[in-house]
Structure 1
Amino acid sequence: MNKKKLALLKQELESVIEQLQNVSVPKDVKPIKRKTSSADNLLHYASIRELDLSELQKKLKKIGVSRLARSEDHIMHSLHLIHQLVCALLKEPNDINKQKYITIARAEKKLIKNTKLLLGRKTKKKRVRLMVTIPSEAATNYQLIEDLVVQGMNCARINCAHDTEKEWVAMANHIRKAASKHQRLVKIAMDLGGPKIRTLLTSEDVDFMLLNKGDTIEIIDDSLPHTKEIKQIRCTFPEIISKVKPGEPIYFDDGKIEGTITYVEDKKIGINITRCKLEGSKLKTDKGINLPETNLGIAGLTPKDKEDFATIAKIADIVNFSFVNTTDDLDDLFQLMETHKANTISIILKIETKKAYNNLKDILLATMTKENAFGVMIARGDLAIEVGWLNSGRVQNEILRMCTAAHTPIIWATQVLENLAKNGIPSRSEISDINNALKAECIMLNKGPYMLEVMQFLNEVLQNEELFQIKNEAMLPKLKRL
Structure 2
Amino acid sequence: MPRPTLQEASTKIIATVGPACDSLEKLVELIESGVDVFRINTAHGSRESHAETLRKIRQASEQSSFPVGVLLDLSGPKIRLGTLLQDPLPCEMGMELSFVSGDEPNDATELTSSYKRLLQELQVGDNVMLADGIVSMVVVSKTDDRAVCRVTSPGVLRSRQGINLPGVKLSVSSMRPEDVDNAIWGAQAGIDFISLSFVRSASDVRSLKDLLTSYESMALVIAKIEKREAMEDLDAIVEAADGVMVARGDLGVEIDVSETPVAQKRIIDACTEKMKPVIVATQMLDSMHHCPRPTRAEASDVANAILDGADCCMLSGETAIGDFPIEAVQTMRRIMLHTERNLLTELSPDRFKVNSKYPITSAVAQSAIMLAESVSAKVLVIATRSGGTAWVESKQRSLVPTLGVSDNEEALRRMNLFWGVKPVRVSQLDDATQLFDEITAWGCRSQMLNGGDLAVLVTGNGVMDRAHNLVMVHTVDPDKCKIAWN
Superposition TM-score, scaled by structure 2 size:
0.66
Report whether the alignment pairs 1:163 with 2:45: yes
Amino acid at match of 2:98: E
Identity value in percent = 25
SS at match of 2:290: helix
Report whether the alignment pairs 1:324 with 2:199: yes
Q: 2:292 aligns with which of 424, 444, 447?
A: 424
- Separation (CA, whole Å) in 1 of partners of 2:346 and 2:129: 32
SS at match of 1:168: helix
- Give the aligned partner of residue 238 of structure 2: 364
SS at match of 2:112: strand
SS at match of 2:82: strand
Deviation at 1:235, TM superposition (A): 1.6
- Separation (CA, whole Å) in 2 of partners of 1:352 and 1:461: 26
- Give the aligned partner of residue 255 of structure 1: 133
Deviation at 1:138, TM superposition (A): 5.0
- Give the aligned partner of residue 226 of structure 1: 105
> Contact 2:127/2:138 (CA < 8 Å) preserved in 1?
yes
Deviation at 1:426, TM superposition (A): 1.9
Q: 2:96 aligns with which of 216, 236, 245?
A: 216
Q: 2:188 aligns with which of 314, 318, 332?
A: 314
Q: Using the TM superposition, name which of 157-166 and 298-307 deviates more.
A: 298-307
> Contact 1:136/1:163 (CA < 8 Å) preserved in 2?
no
- Give the aligned partner of residue 382 of structure 2: none
- Give the aligned partner of residue 12 of structure 2: 129
- Give the aligned partner of residue 408 of structure 1: 276
Deviation at 1:341, TM superposition (A): 2.9
SS at match of 2:7: coil
Deviation at 1:329, TM superposition (A): 1.0
SS at match of 1:124: coil
Cα RMSD after superposing both structures: 2.4
SS at match of 1:153: coil
> Contact 1:222/1:234 (CA < 8 Å) preserved in 2?
yes
> Contact 1:195/1:299 (CA < 8 Å) preserved in 2?
yes
- Separation (CA, whole Å) in 2 of partners of 1:425 and 1:138: 18
> Contact 2:129/2:165 (CA < 8 Å) preserved in 1?
yes
Amino acid at match of 2:42: C
Report whether the alignment pairs 1:396 with 2:279: no
- Separation (CA, whole Å) in 1 of partners of 2:223 and 2:117: 25
> Contact 2:95/2:150 (CA < 8 Å) preserved in 1?
yes
SS at match of 1:260: strand
SS at match of 2:341: coil
Q: 2:324 aligns with which of 432, 447, 450?
A: 450
The count of residues paired between Structure 1 and Structure 2 equals 341
Closer, same or farther in 2 for the Cα pair 1:290/1:121, shift >3 Å? farther
> Contact 1:318/1:347 (CA < 8 Å) preserved in 2?
yes
Closer, same or farther in 2 for the Cα pair 1:435/1:138, shift >3 Å? closer
- Separation (CA, whole Å) in 2 of partners of 1:425 and 1:216: 40
Q: 1:352 aligns with which of 213, 223, 226?
A: 226
- Separation (CA, whole Å) in 2 of partners of 1:440 and 1:321: 19
Q: Which runs of 5+ in 1 are unaligned?
A: 1-119, 368-373, 478-482
Deviation at 1:428, TM superposition (A): 2.4
Closer, same or farther in 2 for the Cα pair 1:406/1:150, shift >3 Å? same
Which structure carries more relative contact order (alpha carbon 8 Å, separation 6+)? Answer: 1
Closer, same or farther in 2 for the Cα pair 1:226/1:286, shift >3 Å? closer
Deviation at 1:289, TM superposition (A): 0.9
Deviation at 1:273, TM superposition (A): 1.2
Q: Which runs of 5+ in 2 are unaligned?
A: 350-398, 400-486
- Give the aligned partner of residue 305 of structure 2: 437
- Give the aligned partner of residue 59 of structure 1: none
